[in-house]
Amino acid sequence: MGRSSRLPIIAIENQEPLKQGCVFVPPPGRSATFSDGMITVDQSVPDRPATTINRLFTSAAQSYRERVIGVILTGLLRDGTQGLRAVHEAGGLTMVQDPREAEYSDMPANAMEGLPVTFCLNLAEIGPALELLVRRTAQFETGLEVAIRTLRDRVALLVRLAEQSSRNPGTRSFLENELALLRHNIESIDDL
């Protein structure tokens, strides 16, 4: 786990305290619920048909109300539909992968049937959308603020590198050109 995410991935065996900036993954086929800042894995194996996503979303909606974003991706059957309804009714946002591009369209299509889904997006749009939407209930820097801070940090680094490259004129010239380009980009952003 963790090879396709910059975030730490925590496999839950029993119970874990929730931490910002982490991905929690229960064992396959097992339900997880939220309560008092904890995520807990149900030790029993669920009856069929599986309702693990419904239970997860319902407990998240009960615990965190409008701060929840429920997301349904590709999958078979109807699991997730009732849970997404609970998220919607609690004031949270609901999102599904566009069924037309999903490998298995059942879950996103079923969720959209009788539920006013907030967003229906292509898979490639879901991650960036989530990154933006989590800011609606928390005090995070905007993407523009992060970009400007990152550019300014890079300018400071380039200044130090240029100052220390006096013995290598080719490198110094390269660094000064990069510095001029970055300063221009920052000025363009500041004009927005």
Q: How far, rounded to the nearest angstrom, does the alpha carbon of residue 16 sit from its chain's CA centroid?
A: 19
Q: Look at the alpha carbons of 62, 64, 65, 70 in this order and tell me if their dihedral is positive or negative.
A: negative
What's the mean pLDDT in 113-129? 90
Are residue 129 and residue 157 in the same domain, yes or no? no
| Number of domains composing the chain | 2
Structural domain includes residue 4: no
**CATH number of the domain bearing residue 63:** 3.40.50.180
Reported as a single tens digit per residue, the pLDDT across 38-72 is 999 988 776 666 688 999 999 999 999 999 999 99
Are residue 88 and residue 30 in the same domain, yes or no? yes
Reported as a single tens digit per residue, the pLDDT across 4-17 is 677 889 999 999 99
* Parent domain of 65: 9-137
Are residue 24 and residue 119 in the same domain, yes or no? yes
Are residue 92 and residue 124 in the same domain, yes or no? yes
